[in-house]
Structure 1
Amino acid sequence: MDIQALAFDTGGTVLDWHTGLVEAFTQVGHRHGLSRDWHLVTNDYRRAAMKAIVGQVRPAFNMDDVHRTELDGVLAHHGLQAFTAQDRWQIHRSWYGLDTWPDFPAALNRLKSRYPVVSFTMLPLAMVVAVSRRNDIDWDAVISCEMIGVYKPQPEAYAQVATWLGLEPTQILMVACHNFDLNAARASGYRTAFVRRPLEWGPSGPPDPDPHPDCSFVVDDFTSLAEKLGA
């Protein structure tokens, strides 16, 4: 298998968005004396944001805009209209303060010793830069779908990344914990690696936890992926 570069999905695969957002909702709710199932609120927020951005073609907005607009609807749905503009800003900005999964940084350093590694993500560039600096993640490049103008799982997004990397799609390993992303990457010619992230959606577990059997690699953690790739 001639792998020349690794492309990482970033939201969920690399970043623990659920813990960060639950903490933000909890803090704001406490200030107002309000209690909810913050895990449920957070997951509803994530689902709404993904629904609004997945598959978009040359939209007049990016995922940062979606995170702002979808927050209002989720708060209204859960009876949290008391949250002020400042509260909403705090929740929205928590995306920029997310932590990576604990097993990622060391494994990435190992993988970088052998391969170019890029973030290939639907998240906005500004957010990926912020969280990468926060977590001392040194990508060889960050490729946001907003730079391409076409969002996963559209084939054009995967084709453009291969073109920019100067590689054939079969030379790129797409790494993610989401089948929809890996299935589309594989249909575009990529090799694929499914990394299990059982806590991505908190206690309820991920909605699609079972890897497609056509994945080139299936691992429980990033350390195992580095070992399988000889890094």
Structure 2
Amino acid sequence: MSLSGIKALTFDTGGTVLDWHTGFRDAFSEAGQRHGIDRDWSQIANRFRRLSMEMMLNLGADGPPGYNFDEAHARCLEKLLREEGLDAFDYVDRHRIAWEAPHRLAAWTDVREGLAALRARYIVASFTLLSYRLVIDTSRENGLSWDAVLSCEGLGVYKLLPEAYLRAAKRLQLAPEECLMVACHPFDLDAAAKVGFRTALIRRPTEWGVHAEGLPDVPPSGTYDVEVDSVLELDERMSQCF
């Protein structure tokens, strides 16, 4: 598929750019060690992620959003700890998991160099469900530079609503077809494609951990305009059509 005419790359951030699983798993594990509790922290981290995503996807469909992703993390953590019988986790534990851990998430090792290379030729933006503050903190933590941060918090509607993608393109003063949505999540790419974005799949096979189960299947090869294993590979592919 042709990649000509693309002027901006809009990156999903919480998974495509950031390794959320390791950060949350380790935060839960550290809290468990404080209280002498041994659980499958990888599975609990994944459940926490699913709960928070459910609160954020399509937020704004029924009116102005009443919370951002940081608040969703805090609310979902309270629910999760009750249901998992982890009431021993105190305020310090909860703050470390819901605030400190996500704001210190590590980027995948290919991201920093890859983004820098792409920015030499394209507008490169974070287009994300995450809060502004979370993107700011993790970008500073990992030395990431963006031309723009398009948080759904500021757009007023959240992915996967079509209007979120249309507003993101409008903020860049571009037509949707001039934007390449970059994500490891097929649902994000599918929603972007429906309003005219071109699409790039970055495979993150360990996004949900090494032995994750019950995850949605990735569509057959050839579904998206470009499919790669890293941001560096994406830069290489994009350089051929610039």
TM-score norm. by structure 1 comes to 0.97
3-state secondary structure, aligned to 1:166: coil
Deviation at 1:214, TM superposition (A): 3.1
Give the structure 2 partner of residue 227 of structure 1. 236
1:43 aligned residue (21, 28, 46) = 46
1:1-231, aligned counterparts within 5 Å? 1-57=4-60, 58-92=64-98, 93-205=100-212, 207-211=215-219, 213-230=222-239
Deviations 1:108-128 (A, max 9, x none): 111111101000000000010
Deviation at 1:94, TM superposition (A): 0.7
**Uncovered stretches (5+) of structure 1, i.e. residues with no partner:** none
Q: Determine the C-alpha separation between the residues in 1 that align with 2:196 and 2:183.
A: 15
3-state secondary structure, aligned to 1:229: helix
Percent sequence identity over matched residues? 45
Deviation at 1:211, TM superposition (A): 3.7
Q: Determine the C-alpha separation between the residues in 2 that align with 1:79 and 1:39.
A: 16
Deviation at 1:209, TM superposition (A): 4.5
Q: Which runs of 4+ in 1 moved over 4 A?
A: none
TM-score norm. by structure 2 comes to 0.93
Q: Determine the C-alpha separation between the residues in 2 that align with 1:219 and 1:205.
A: 21
- Given that 1:198 and 1:209 are in contact with CA atoms closer than 8 Å, whether structure 2 keeps it comes out as no
**Uncovered stretches (5+) of structure 2, i.e. residues with no partner:** none
Count residues in correspondence. Answer: 231
- Given that 1:21 and 1:42 are in contact with CA atoms closer than 8 Å, whether structure 2 keeps it comes out as yes
